[in-house]
Amino acid sequence: MTRGAGELAKLLRYRPKFAAASFSSTTPSGSSISPTHRPWFPKLKVVAAVGVGLGMGALGLSALGTEPRRSLYLLYSMSLRLGRDFVTAALIVADYNYSLYGLPEKSLERAQSKHEVHIRSANRLKELCFKNGGIYIKLGQHMGQLEYLLPSEYVQTMKDCMLDKCPVSTFEQVCELFKAELGRLPHEVFKDFDPIPLASASLAQVHVASTFEGEKVAVKVQHAHLTDTAAMDIVTVKLVVTAVHFLFPNYDYRWLIAEVQDSLPKELDFLLEAKNSEHCMNNFRTLSPHLVRWIYVPKVYRDLSTRKLLTMEFIEGVKVTDVKAIQKLGIKPNTISKIMNEAFADMIFRHGFVHCDPHAANMMVRLAPTNEHGFLGNKKTPQLVLLDHGLYKELNPTLRNDYAALWKALVFADVNEIKKQSVKLGAGEDLYILFAGVLTMRPWKKIIQQDINHLKIDGTEEDKEEIQMYASQLVSEISLLLQRLPREILLLLKTNDCLRAVDYCLGSSINSFVIIARESSRTLAEMRTSRDRRSIRSKLSARLDMLKVEVRLLILQLLEWITCLHGIDDKAAMQGDLEAGVGTKTQNGSVDVASASVCDSNSDPHLCDSGTGLSNLPA
């Protein structure tokens, strides 16, 4: 009996009636997935068996005729991975049901038990990701960015180990790859080569080396067998999401298959990554010269790089989320937050070429090697170093314009414009409220408040719990929204998640919103004037819009500065004057906004007027 099967048997052994009568599917947040259809466990066995059979058959048909030994290895690995998936899922569901069975809602005992199950389940998922590798680790990395959607136990577990502490390939495997790619061993290519990797991520690990010219370099080495397992990963994901949708129709993530099929091969091509990195830096030089001194991309050694090996300039720096190390460099964390958000806002709205994997391990902070000459003498310039350029997305001008218009509408709490632009981006007239909530990670009531404070991202535990609550209650709506949205927008949502997670670590509450508001407004103004260059009225209107945004943002930053200076609670400090003309304070502390009931006949009632909708959450 495997370890997983043994754990499952242990969970079920002491409560025989549980599996037959009390087995209900539960999400990590503790909410029921399908209260009307609980006896699904036998169906899960059938689907798992059929899934394994289909996967093995499909893979066998595609590969058996060429290399039988390779085909057998892939078939074995495929069935093993799917088996791990099934056992892990069964263990997690069984653990939640067994551990929380009979415990009263909101009791201390249930809360403590749920916390312990969260930790056990997160560790099981971590172990599954490490054993299966590849795309599983990529998914685990993204879980570590979802501060607002997942319980903290899951986020912290994934964040601690998924970014740069993944399983490593052996030095023998590294040597085999060098021999296959360059025809030479590492010590023949480099003067020095450290056999112990500096860091290891989902697709590759990094070794420190030095060239025969004495230059220190970082060598990114693709993990062994990834090319083979990539195709298997795609088939596995297809089977898993199809099975999940069959068991739980509310969970339809089949759109993920096309995204994985498109992005994974690109991330495995290190020559494409080299091209992306050079394109990125060139965009900052030509399109964003005002930012170029604060952004750096390591240069690539093309003659020492292949599709599976990438040799880059070695950069001395600190992790972007290491606040203490950043402060030791004499840099304010808020400065780094501002640089990061300005850089990615420019990528989205100016360049149309966006780094879509900006998690904490893919960004570093350093002091620029050259001094900046100022009025008070020389000073070092802080730089944000961008790493891992495997996943980029190009945005066409129309999409950038619509996305910018949506953000401008969010800044001004313009309900009609939010709806209009959300529909243009694919959300539909029934899910535009949910789209605005997913994009900003804020309840609808806060989004449409007319005061300045609605732009501020508090990041409190109360906010997180609120968002987790409605996320668990709107599973089918979120799934439908993600199916509708263009893949470019899906990757922008992922980018937002990553940046929001870094911002949270840096302690910034307004930078992300302020900067994207400014850049989106500037984009719209530039597009308007470019369409009608001779119209003075058009130019004046564009400048007036920009002035309105700047005034609004200036007031917000001033209020933030005053609040920090005096150490006053934000809500207490700003509640009085800012609520004037917007709404009235109710007894429970929420704000009754006059325009809160903005839903029309096309809107989903769950998003508007029900007790579980976004607009009814406390403000």
Catalytic residues: 357
Q: How far is CA 547 from CA 346, 412, 517, 576, in A?
A: 19, 13, 12, 26
Structure-token match 């249930």, residue found: 110
Joined tokens for residue 59: 């893979």
Structure-token match 């609004």, residue found: 552
- Tell me the H-state helices in 162-254: 171-182, 186-189, 226-247
515/340 Cα distance (integer angstroms): 10
171/197 Cα distance (integer angstroms): 9
Sign of the C-alpha dihedral computed for residues 502, 507, 513 and 515 taken in this order: negative
Residue type (1 letter), 492: L
If you write DSSP's letter for every residue of 405-463 in order, what string do you get?
HHHHHHHTT-HHHHHHHHHHTT--TTSHHHHHHHHHTS-HHHHT--SGGGG-----HHH
Dihedral in degrees, nearest 10, Cα atoms 275, 279, 280, 281? 110
* 3-class secondary-structure state, position 1: coil
Sign of the C-alpha dihedral computed for residues 299, 300, 303 and 309 taken in this order: positive
Nearest to 448 by CA among 321, 583, 350, 561: 583
CB-based contacts of 4, cutoff 8 Å, min separation 6:
84, 87, 88, 91
39/101 Cα distance (integer angstroms): 16
Nearest to 525 by CA among 408, 396, 353, 425: 408
Beta bridge partners of 386: 363
